[in-house]
A and B are shown apart, each in its own frame.
Chain A
């Protein structure tokens, strides 16, 4: 399982990477915004994308839309981990095709629960 973690704050990337390692996911890579993440996604096969929303350059919501618009990437599971907490924003992300949404600050248990849920649903074929 290869995972790309996108966040403009390196501390948050480290936190997420360490949590993932604790959950048994050791193959992770990092990008600091959508603009640097998108070429990485196109170049190498990733199995899972975890992205922040609010980033300078290309924002997470635009990255999500770009992924869904690209036939090669459209099926990639995307989990948003963000401080954006407006209902409108969550609805927007849902409509753009996000697979899971976590608001910061979050716990290790929440991350595990949401990742499990995303893959459960994918395995169930929906």
Chain B
């Protein structure tokens, strides 16, 4: 423990007094001097302890008023959880959307295969001249129906494929959300490293949370996160807003 010049003088004086007392054989005086020395030492300890307590208190208080930190803990980390939950929801929806279309499409392709197989067998008989005129009339009608039905099926399958393709937009949207969370994790990591570095020292108070920011990209909106009144709920509201601006 470092001691001040003043304290050093006090210790020195007491030491001289102790020596004098012992040399002169006065044990009572020596005892008094030892008591004083002990008190002197305890006072120093208490002062040091007090100083440490105060520093700790200041550090904790500064920590609470560190604007960025409180912003992180009070809103951004809960937001990040909400964002990641939203990612789960979106990927689940995309998977279900895709699977539903695939399930709807399979019966169509199976039917197509089956019907084409049946007609092929009859067509082969016709080509081998193994078919009566009456029967051919029936086949001709069936082929006619099959072609119309095939065209209709192709349209359905095409729509289904477009739908499957659109469902893949989750990759972009969730990717943007996850990137934002990664940025937050990075910031928390940097904060923790900083915290370790400043332990015992006072934290510099940073500027207030940035309420007014320039317009920056934020990625997809997440339900229950942020001020939803500032956000459009869909393309209709975008169109309304733009038409109010003369578009």
A residues with CB within 8 A of B: 7, 9, 11-12, 14-15, 18-19, 22, 53-55, 59-61, 83-92, 94, 101-108, 110
Contact = CB atoms under 8 A, between A and B. Distances in A.
A108 B245 CA distance: 25
B165 interface: yes
Top 6 A-B pairs, shortest CB-CB distance = A54-B217, A83-B220, A9-B172, A12-B172, A11-B171, A85-B221
Interface of B: 162, 165-166, 168-169, 171-173, 175-176, 215, 217-221, 230-232, 234-235, 238, 241-242, 245, 247
Given A84-B218, A87-B231, A105-B166, 4 more contacts: A14-B165, A83-B172, A83-B173, A85-B220
Contacts of B217: 53-55, 59-61, 84, 89
Contact of B242 (A15, A54, A84, A94): A94
Given A83-B221, A85-B231, A90 B171 contact: no
B235 A103 contact: yes
Contacts of A90: 232, 238, 241-242
Contacts of B220: 83, 85, 104
Contacts of B169: 11-12, 15, 104-106
B235 A102 contact: yes
A102 B169 CA distance: 14
B235 A110 contact: yes
Nearest to B171: A11
Contact of B238 (A18, A88, A101): A101
B166 A104 contact: no
A89 B176 contact: no
Nearest to A52: B172
Nearest to A59: B217
Nearest to B180: A54
Given A91-B245, A94-B245, A94-B247, A108 B171 contact: no
A96 B232 CA distance: 19
B165 A15 contact: yes
A107 B166 contact: yes
7 contacts: A12-B169, A19-B165, A54-B218, A61-B215, A83-B219, A103-B238, A108-B162
A103 B173 CA distance: 11
Nearest to A11: B171
Contact of B232 (A12, A54, A85): A85
B176 to A, nearest CB: 6
A83 B176 contact: yes
Contacts of B242: 90, 94, 101
